[in-house]
Structure 1
Amino acid sequence: MSLRIVVCVKYVPDATGDRHFAEDLTVDRDDVDGLLSELDEYAVEQALQIKEAADDDAEITVLTVGPEDASDALRKALSMGADKGVHVEDDDLHGTDALGTSLVLAKAIEKTGYDLVVCGMASTDGTMGVLPALLAERLGVPQVTQLSEVSVEGGTVKGRRDGDTATEQLEASLPAVVSVTDQSGEARYPSFKGIMAAKKKPVESLDLDDLDIEADEVGLAGAWTKVDEAAERPARTAGTIVKDEGEGGKQLAEFLAGQKFI
């Protein structure tokens, strides 16, 4: 039986755009372009490498939870080489926090079927980094997180975690959840052939009813965390110009000392 790999991906606001909060203090996604989270591209890449090492005896499903435009994230992953997609979309998901998202993902993964779940180390918008652990807990399987190298041999997933003072070699029996860092290997660019092929790959649409999830378990009403207050970043002020008339170095040192940089 082929190895069943599910990669969780997220559609996020472009970090280079002008991002704001909406009136309900959720991220305003209407006024900024979105894209596949860069950190999730590493997860897709590692899944593809695992499939290639298995002589293509594996199937990769990319899974996302989000609004209609989140299908763009799926198509990007499919154009990289994933086999099929699953999109969970429901109006009642608006405002769902990490705990609620982990519930939705777990239900969708169980419905899809899996041997290995691969996640990025964090999303580039929330940057919490807790979802892989929450997901593993809900699925009741081992978690091997923050890996800079990952492989599958038989029924075991193995990986290397690089810390500040030590490197760990880890392994877990399948089924399992892993997350990979941005040091795991540069993600490939979709080829023209891959982009065209992605248009024909199947994408299944699911909603909360399909997953037997009640609306009050997710969304703002079911969130365990919320934003109480938000303020826009102050406008950038003009810098200090130092004219060097022989004592520029001294003036620079005094400025840095005044700002407690030195």
Structure 2
Amino acid sequence: MRRVFNKKRNILVLLLIFIMFTGIFYFNDVKVHVYPLLRKIQHELILYKTKDYKVRETEHFLIRYNIEDEETINLVEKASEQYYQQVCDMFHYYPKDKTTVIVYNDPSELMKNASLKQEKPPMGVYFASTIQILSPKLWIPQNEDIEDIFMNEGPMVHEFTHLLVDDLAKGNYPLWFTEGLALYQEYAQTGYEWGKDLSFEGKPYTVKQLTEEFMNLDEMLAYKRSFELVKDIVDTQGFEHLNELLKDLGKGKDYRNYLYK
């Protein structure tokens, strides 16, 4: 019996060593297989944390909320579905499951459930196959047209694009790339050009800087440069080039072989 146990232990050790070395030499190949499983676990945890929320089901979305404001949820439903078809058509990808949207009236709940540590809560965030947003009434002044602003400058197109990119590339992409794609979709679908009036002092950020230092760069300029780079790819090579790239990234190809050129 002891010999059987030792044999099993040795097999386990060899298996762990194999996984370790495989992870070192084929990191991206391993990542694109493991990442979706980890994301699924995080997704289920978020659903558990919001299990007592009400749910509004639409054609393509499941909207969870704990606010007594049906007018706001109607607006979120409208914004969620508004550009669904157009965005999915551009990526030639349509999620097989309905996308979870969670609406918060408490910024601290969003920060906690999305594992954010920044000081200021965002109006929306993509995390673990969920789109988590603040009620638009928390960030749009009452004297302004809430529906117009939320539909055209709100987070729905942006965060839904993050979900599609994450599904297609299976986590195998740099942060600037998914941000650039999300900003480009806002531009393509609503006409909203983020950071249009911003300008760089000196040379714009390089791809290397964005890839390695994104979180340490000027946030506004880093987002602007990400958008510019993606738009340049679309203008010169077409959006289909990005679709092919996303397919390759989803197979574990090294993004540096594509995005550093």
- TM-score, length basis structure 2: 0.30
Richer in helix (by share): 2
**Which structure has the higher relative contact order (CA within 8 Å, separation 6+)?**
1
